[in-house]
Amino acid sequence: MQENEAKNDTTYLTGRERMVASAGLDLWTEEFGDPDHPAVLLVMGAQAQGIQWNDGIVRRLVAGGRRVVRYDHRDTGRSSTVDFAAHPYTVADLASDALAVLDALGVARAHVVGASLGGVIGQLLAVTHPDRVLTLTSLSSQPLGTDTAAAVQRAMEGTPPLPGELPPPTPELLASLVASFPEPQAGLEGHLAARLPLWRVLHGPVLPFDEEEYRAVERRAYERARDTRAALNHAFAGATPVGSTAELASVTAPALVLHGTEDPMFPPAHAEATAAALPGARLVLIEGMGHTLPAALDDRLAGEILRHTAVTAV
């Protein structure tokens, strides 16, 4: 394992990088730790890059005896970008990308840890490919089959949620999302000026907000992206719900549901519904956490993942 100096003088953790093929696309992957140790596949959320799994979390998982893999979804970071109009894809295709990463790295079964949309991808894998999922951790996510796009549309129009519908994102977050992707000609500073207000809202109002931490994360993501706006395609990919919540009853992998009490994207009712749908799932609500992974929570999050993946860590 090596550490290099990044452009902004921040030392980042670097592992064994590799481009792998999936459906004619190239996906950037990075792995850490002993290849003989149990594999943990970290699956990021919509419009997010693999490097947004904090180095601190990765270090702690490796120190706990795990082989850790993180990767860039298609249309993010160093992975291939797609002409969505000509070649549309779905969340199921993103799940197939995750399997392609495991296949290319020779991982037969993995502990799958997914954040936000990554949690839905992990749930889908646990339903459709139970032989590949040792354990499932759904982090800051929602149940498989939830029609988020429709709920957001109703919220934007000021229409009340449907009976029994999970709560939509907060109005403050919806307003921030609209302005969070500047035009490419805005440059780095324009990009940061548009993105940091969104990070502040996603972070939530309880835990201290470290602006420099989020600025460094967003700067790094900007500098390594092939196309910063390509990630918007994930909104189109997620417009159609995939699977159904009822299918989660078939999941046999031990499941952990981690969620912040202050999540503005998916309020805690989403976590409660996910845990209720997954047989035997353990629900852990983290006080003060929003819809981000601040470094201050690295110990807590990595500790929960290590305890959960120890179920079948040998």
138 touches 255 (CB < 8 A): yes
Question: Which tokens belong to 78?
Answer: 């160093």
Percent helix, percent strand, percent coil in the chain, to nearest 5:
45, 20, 40
Amino acid at 133: V
| CA atoms of 296 and 213, how far apart (whole Å) | 10
Residues serving a catalytic function are 116, 263, 291
| CA atoms of 160 and 65, how far apart (whole Å) | 47
Q: What is the SS3 assignment for 177?
A: helix
As a whole number of Å, the CA-based R_g of the chain is: 18
Question: Which tokens belong to 44?
Answer: 């990021």
Provide the 8-state DSSP code for 189. Answer: H
| CA atoms of 256 and 240, how far apart (whole Å) | 25
C-alpha dist (Å) from residue 252 to 111, 151, 266: 13, 29, 25
